[in-house]
Every structure is written in structure tokens, then in C-alpha cells.
Amino acid sequence: MLGIEVIKVKIIKLFIFILLIIIVSLSGFLWGTYTYFSQNLPSVSALKNYKPKSVTTFYADDGTVIAEIFTEKRKVVPINKIPRRLVEAFVAAEDANFFTHKGIDYKGILRALYKNLEAGEIIQGGSTITQQVAKSLLLSPTRSWVRKIKEAILAYRIEKNLTKEEILYLYLNQIFLGHGAYGVAAAAENYFGKDITEINLAEAAILAGLPRAPSRYSPYKHPKRAKKRQEYVLKRMVKNGYITKEEMEQALNTKIIIKGVKNPFFEVAPYFAEYVRQKLEQKYGREVVYNEGLKVYTTVLPSYQKAARKAILKGLKELDKRQGYRGPIMHLEKDQIPNFLNKVTKEIGDEPLKIGEEYPAVSLK
């Protein structure tokens, strides 16, 4: 019996020894990996001076917007101007444990894997909001396991150097949300024709559903998919305690009106705006004019400009009438007529024809 007890003790000691070797080896491997991939990583301190590409706006004498020029349509807004419901919608959809994790959410990774397998498609991502900030602002978009390791290291560093509010400010202003819109303010204008402060819960859930795949869930192109994604976001908000089931049902029954935003560059004073743009580019350079969010105040009066354009158009029409009919603008073969008419129909769209306007047409003998 004594010999058996001695053998048991030896086995236990051997097990503990092997376990210690594994722990030490694993710790050494992890430390070595961290040290190796930490070399030459960008500094997270640069995020403190966040100055992204944003819209340059031209204003008329009365303060109305007459033009916007940009390479990325982004309007940077402070975090305290973004509605609380919108922040909660993004957190619920993209990173439920955002306010408690330290950059990496291991439970979230496992949950996303399970949910995606269950749904048969990617409906959740494993990256935290902090990781997405690191990827978007500090790393290249190239997909590789090396980048994922660097992303995780940077996310940890970001969490140590920035507050949660500062991270959300970067994320919500930087993220691409489809149809040329970068950041939630530009997206609110693009999709709903609203200032970011006016967004309701139903609209917030639509926007929060876009980061995973902006084109796939576009309310412009795929309203049914967008609605399904909205429902998913709202259910996540209920699960995380941000809203009640009654609020979810109310949001689902709220009618969403999608409004495309017209480019003011072509609406009021296009030739004047182009002249101003050229002068600015000559003085400051294209990079500054298109990316640094300048506010340009001009002397043009929209009411006078519209009256002048109307008078010129009237004069041109009267001149054209005096000169008489000068033949068609083009000749079409019989098989070309359907394509021409389809093109004209698409250009006119659903807008009713306006009295006094001129439209392309086909005259048949």
C-alpha cells in the first residue's frame, strides 16, 4: 500500500511539473508573439488629434449651402451631439460588451461564431468596436492573421489611452455606411435627409445595421433586407436592456422615409461655385480644398441667382422660337428607338412632367 501511495505522489508531482512547463511555455510563446508583433506598430497617441477627410462647404450670402465638395462625404460631430439611442443601437449590433471589455471580447467572438453558424450567414462579427477603430485608422485593410494580431494589440493599447466615449467618437465619425457616406452624420443626411440630432429609434436601427455590409443592407437598394437587419438590431437592443419590447414594436411599425440628398453644387449657382472651387484650389491646393472640411462664405444671393438663370433661360427659349425649327437633334434607326425611350424614361424617373420644361422625345412619321 505504501508503494502505491508513493507512486501516486510521484504521478501528481509529474503532472504538476508538466502543467507548469506547459504554462511557462505558453506564457513565453504569448509574450514572444506580443513582443514580435508590437515592433513598428503605429502610435495610438495620433488618435488624440483625429482629423479625418471631411466635407468642404460653400455658403451663400444668406447662409444657405450652395455647394459641397469632398473625396469622402463626412461631417464630424462630437459624441455629445449623437443621440443616445443611436450609440446604443451601434453598440448592441456591433459590440454588446463594449463598455466592459478591454479591447478584445473573447465571449463575443465565440457568440458570433455560434450565431453565424446557426444562421448560415455572417450576421455578427467577432471584432470589437475598438478593433474596428484600430483597423480603420491605424492599419491597412489587408486581411491576414498577422493584421488581426496587430489589431488586437492596438485595440488593447487604445483602451489604455482613450476613454470609451473617445473611442465611440472615432468609430461613429469614421465608419463607412454606404452610398458615399462616412460617419453617422453624413449617413443621416444621405438616407433620411435629417440632421443627426433628429434621428429616431427606427432610423437609428437602420443605420446601426449597415456596418456589417453597407451595400447588402442598403435601404435604397434592398429595403426588405434593411428591414430585416433593423429588426435584428432592435432585438439586440432589447436583449441588452437598452429598450423595451414595446419600444421595439413601436420602432418596427414606424414608417421609414428614405430621402436622397441632392448635391447643392448643381442646384443654386453651379457656375459660380465652380469658379470659387477653382480659385480655392489655385490658392490652397486640391488636398486642402477637398479633404480639410473648409467653410467658405461667398457673396452670391440665391434669390438673385435663380432670377438671373430664369431670365437667361426665358431669353434663350424666345430666341430659339424666333429662329424657328431647325430639325431634330439626332436621327434614330427603328431598332434604336426603344433603347432611347428607355433611357429617357429612366432619366425622368417618377417625377411628373413640368409645364414649360423641355424633354427629349421621338417624332414618328
Per-residue three-class SS string for the chain: CHHHHHHHHHHHHHHHHHHHHHHHHHHHHHHHHHHHHHCCCCCHHHHHHCCCCECEEEECCCCCEEEEECCCEECCCCHHHCCHHHHHHHHHHHCCCCCCCCCCCHHHHHHHHHHHHHHCCCCCCCCCHHHHHHHHHHCCCCCCHHHHHHHHHHHHHHHHHCCHHHHHHHHHHHCECCCCEECHHHHHHHHHCCCHHHCCHHHHHHHHCCCCCCCCCCCCCCHHHHHHHHHHHHHHHHHCCCCCHHHHHHHHCCCCCCCCCCCHHHCCCHHHHHHHHHHHHHHHCHHHHHHECCEEECCCCHHHHHHHHHHHHHHHHHHHHHHCCCCCCCCCCHHHHHHHHHHHHHHHCCCCCCCCCCCCCCCCC
pLDDT at 326: 67
> Which residue, chain included where needed, has cell 503532472?
15
Q: Nearest CA to 172 among 181, 159, 162, 161? A: 181
Whether residue 146 is predicted with pLDDT greater than 70 in this model: the reply is: yes
Task: Give pTM, 2 decimals.
Answer: 0.75
pLDDT band, very low/low/confident/very high, at 115 (cuts 50, 70, 90): low
Highest mean pLDDT among 69-73, 257-261, 318-322: 69-73
- Give the rounded percent of residues in the chain with a pLDDT score beyond 90: 52
Give the pLDDT band of residue 334 (cuts 50, 70, 90). Answer: confident
Q: pLDDT at position 117, please?
A: 67
- The pLDDT of 335-357, averaged and rounded, is 76
Name which residue leads in pLDDT, 314 or 209. Answer: 209
Q: Which fold has domain 82-252?
A: Penicillin binding protein transpeptidase fold (1.10.3810)
Distance CA 271, CA 269 (A): 6
Q: Which residue has the higher pLDDT, 222 or 113?
A: 222
Residues in the chain, overall count: 365
Given this model, what pLDDT does residue 36 score? 52
At 337, list the grid cell.
428607338
Question: How far is residue 190's CA from residue 193's CA, in Å, rounded to a whole number?
Answer: 6
Going from the C-alpha of 268 to that of each of 64, 66, 265, 356, the distances in angstroms are: 10, 6, 7, 19
Residue 326 or residue 172, greater confidence: 172
Closest listed residue to residue 175, CA positions, set 187, 189, 166: 187
**Cell, residue 45:** 497617441
Q: Does the pLDDT of residue 46 top 90, yes or no?
A: no
- Tell me, what's the pLDDT at 29? 55
pLDDT mean over 84-101? 95
Extract the C-alpha cell encoding 167.
473611442
- pLDDT at position 149 is 83
- The average pLDDT across 193-222 equals 94
pLDDT at res. 118: 67
- Pairwise CA distance, residues 304 & 316, whole Å: 18
The reported pLDDT for the residue numbered 320 is: 78
Amino acid at 86: L
Q: Which residues pair with 62 in a beta bridge?
A: none
Confidence of residue 38 (pLDDT cuts 50, 70, 90): low
Between 264 and 233, whose confidence is greater?
A: 233
Do residues 129 and 98 touch, judged by C-beta distance below 8 A?
yes
Average pLDDT, the chain: 85
Measured over all CA atoms, what is the biggest interatomic distance in the chain, rounded to whole angstroms?
A: 124
Q: How far apart are CA 172 and CA 204, in angstroms?
A: 12
Distance CA 90, CA 210 (A): 10
pLDDT at 313: 85
pLDDT tens digits for 50-62? Answer: 999 999 999 999 9
Q: Which residue has the higher pLDDT, 178 or 259?
A: 178
Say which residue, 349 or 112, is predicted with more confidence.
Answer: 349
pLDDT band of 34, cuts 50, 70, 90: low
Query: Residue range 78-86: average pLDDT?
Result: 96
Amino acid letter at 66? Answer: I
d(CA 20, CA 115): 36
Mean pLDDT over 286-291 rounds to: 95
